[in-house]
Structure 1
């Protein structure tokens, strides 16, 4: 059903039934682009995600809308699947140019508000402490401490992210004239990630229940990062991987006819992809427990031994921080399942199999 238009704008895809996708580039990122979806409504176009806050990304979004004979000023609303800068980055600029509302789940809005209220130094302090607790070597933490001490801290993505003015309420229909778009809370990738179920007959008559805008929750060829987005002042221990796995099963039961993700490409057989991801994480958890059975490990040491898309020595600095966060998310799941435990008195804390 979906075909790329070819009249000078191959980055626009017509998915039929008043739904289009625009490939908005992400600068210096192997993902390449965010698929910003345009949903026609009786009150004007609504965007699902907006792309990274970057001049090239903005120009591409404007050109993509222009290919549909639309202008930024025509945008009626912006629905954000989650707060990450490749999804929420351009929301504020869209709102300034059009007067559109911005909707986001309350849990991710909380992250946006907290980040905006914090000085960049707070982030550096938090990351330094987290990495030290995870067992990172001092040479890895040193650049963060140096940046903090210098006061010349680079601008971090998300520090100026727009504060949404509407809340996406799980299980409720969004107030979109002439469309039935229901929010499904799918935490894990972020605390407030939502998928959006278009409860309308598939324009190509594919079997299943409508279409699903899946954000980063369900992607055809990538397992999304499961990260930690905790309030540094909170002592509550979250289980984002457990949340993600529960959310995956909920999406599998929905049985959409087609999935329109925010990266890669549209696909069918959501149930099959859900099973693949559930199996992937169970295999990973089992493998990590075997590593912990051989010797107690810190989250950093576990991340060094985990299988990534490249050898640990080739993983860039920032990506190592993400990898350690993912290792810790898996550790928390193992602990909650009673398959691992912290070694009493260890500093930094090491974990062992149970």
Structure 2
């Protein structure tokens, strides 16, 4: 159930910018803030929300409140490929003929996701979890799904293909507006923030406004996990990418941040400092845990989450293990931890 709220589903931010609170079914985040930007060529959406009938109804009703029919939408800019942001893109494009833009790194994820058969994804997840030290009983449902040839039931496995690329550092082609793409990898490899380089309509001090997607949120930290290509064995450092991207956004010093969840806020540099301190504190805490060799699974069991490990659902455990491994990779790259030679599944220890 979507949490009840007394706040209006549509918020006007001034200067031709609105946000619509599109619900995410059965998710503690509650909603995605889909932003509407007026341009001389017609309305443009930043993200679209989850692909669900109630979400679609909320989006179209919210647009109507702003005086816009979904058929009027000129374009859709996707901050990243996750289903609570990209899910309704196909429906919006089908209804309006709008173009759909995404950073190439996330567009590659979309193409790869669409191309892989379901059993390939179930097998890949099973192998990754096994390598991370997950117990056999946790991996067994994925193995069964692979062997039985089950259809894809995970969200976001048939996403819309974008037809335009977002080029970092360049202005998007939006007549009458100055919206510049800022590449902020970490949460996903192709996550982008969008810097509206215009004076704040209420006169707030700072450099315009920033549509921050999931990169910068006022009260929670985005998930930083692994997002490799199953056909590519390159060892990535998504947490390092995220921390670098945070500092880049902090230097922009926008007057206001319009994130994809929670609420609009000011003082982005202060929020960036909080997040940098949070991750440094977490890395330090993991070093204490890694006084003894641990697999990523065992490390995730001991890490602090928003609830005890025993109460974390199956899918969320997979996400937690991915985040634990991303943090371990950062420690390894910094020379503060290392893999134990010959361990299988691999264990890590502080150095």
> What is the TM-score when the length of structure 1 is the normalising length?
0.97
Aligned equivalent of 2:262, options 264, 272, 275: 264
Question: Which structure 2 residue ranges, 5 or more long, are not aligned?
Answer: 1-5
Given the alignment of the two structures, is residue 351 of structure 1 paired with residue 348 of structure 2, yes or no?
yes
Question: What secondary structure does 1:190 align onto?
Answer: coil
Q: CA deviation at 1:154?
A: 4.5
Counterpart Cα distance in 1 of 2:296 and 2:108: 27
Question: What secondary structure does 1:24 align onto?
Answer: strand
Counterpart Cα distance in 1 of 2:91 and 2:156: 14
Please name the residue that 1:16 is paired with: 14
Counterpart Cα distance in 2 of 1:192 and 1:277: 20
Please name the residue that 1:32 is paired with: 30
The answer as to whether partners of 1:17 and 1:203 remain within 8 angstroms in 2 is yes
Please name the residue that 1:121 is paired with: 119
Question: What secondary structure does 1:341 align onto?
Answer: strand
Q: Which runs of 4+ in 1 moved over 4 A?
A: none
Question: Which structure 1 residue ranges, 5 or more long, are not aligned?
Answer: 1-5
Q: Against the structure 1 CA distance between its residues 77 and 11, is the aligned structure 2 distance closer, same or farther, given a 3 Å change threshold?
A: same
How do residues 59-78 of structure 1 correspond to structure 2 at under 5 angstroms? 59-78=57-76
Aligned equivalent of 2:253, options 255, 262, 269: 255
The answer as to whether partners of 2:16 and 2:38 remain within 8 angstroms in 1 is yes
The answer as to whether partners of 1:77 and 1:101 remain within 8 angstroms in 2 is yes
How do residues 208-223 of structure 1 correspond to structure 2 at under 5 angstroms? 208-223=206-221
Please name the residue that 1:150 is paired with: 148
The answer as to whether partners of 1:116 and 1:158 remain within 8 angstroms in 2 is no
Please name the residue that 2:303 is paired with: 306
Given the alignment of the two structures, is residue 324 of structure 1 paired with residue 321 of structure 2, yes or no?
yes
> What is the TM-score when the length of structure 2 is the normalising length?
0.97
Please name the residue that 2:237 is paired with: 239
The two structures, once aligned, show a CA RMSD in angstroms of 1.0
Q: CA deviation at 1:120?
A: 1.1
**Segment of structure 1 superposing worse, 142-151 or 25-34:** 142-151
Counterpart Cα distance in 2 of 1:209 and 1:49: 22
Question: What secondary structure does 1:129 align onto?
Answer: helix
Question: What secondary structure does 1:284 align onto?
Answer: helix
Counterpart Cα distance in 2 of 1:156 and 1:113: 16
Aligned equivalent of 1:188, options 186, 189, 205: 186
Given the alignment of the two structures, is residue 81 of structure 1 paired with residue 79 of structure 2, yes or no?
yes
**Segment of structure 1 superposing worse, 88-97 or 147-156:** 147-156
Question: What secondary structure does 1:267 align onto?
Answer: coil
The answer as to whether partners of 2:119 and 2:150 remain within 8 angstroms in 1 is no
Counterpart Cα distance in 1 of 2:157 and 2:258: 28
The answer as to whether partners of 1:216 and 1:261 remain within 8 angstroms in 2 is yes
Question: What secondary structure does 2:281 align onto?
Answer: helix
